[in-house]
Structures are given as C-alpha cells and as structure tokens.
C-alpha cells in the first residue's frame, strides 16, 4: 500500500489548493455550494494528475531500468 501511495504522489497535490483561492479572495470560502464545487474540482485534479504520473511511470520503466539499473 505504501508504494501505491508513493506512486500517486500526494505531495504534488498541494499545488491544486490554488483552486480555492478565488473563493478565499472573493469572500465565498464559507458558501457551501461553491465550496463543494471547488472540493469536487480539487479531487478531480488530484486524481487526473495521479493518473498521468502513473501512466508516465509505466511508460518510462524500461528507460529507468537502463539508466539507473532499477525501477
């Protein structure tokens, strides 16, 4: 399970928090409807980014083995 979480790269999700900036600066951070839409967008961005990281890792596995000698 540890390696799956590493593969998804949750540390990269922090940049997706910028999705909440318009709510913060627009004074709508506590508007539940806008917050739910932004939360759904945040989760979607995180899942899409993780999927792209996974696809890239699978695509580059042979190159990584040849370059570094391991995966």
For 20-45, how does the pLDDT look when each residue is reduced to its tens digit (9 = 90+)?
999 999 999 999 999 999 999 999 99
Q: What percent of the chain has pLDDT over 90?
A: 76
**8 Å CB contact between 48 and 9:** no
Burial (0-12, 13-18, 19+ Cβ within 10 Å), 38: buried
- pTM (predicted TM-score): 0.79
**What is the rounded average pLDDT for all residues in the chain?**
93
pLDDT at 49: 95
pLDDT at 69: 81
Whether pLDDT at 71 is above 80: no
């Amino acid at each position: 399970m540890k390696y799956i979480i590493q593969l998804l790269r949750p540390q990269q999700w922090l940049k997706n928090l910028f999705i909440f900036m318009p709510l913060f600066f627009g004074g709508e951070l506590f508007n539940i409807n806008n917050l739910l839409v932004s939360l759904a967008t945040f989760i979607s961005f995180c899942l899409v980014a993780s999927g792209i990281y996974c696809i890239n890792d699978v695509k580059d596995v042979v190159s990584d083995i040849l370059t570094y000698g391991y995966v």
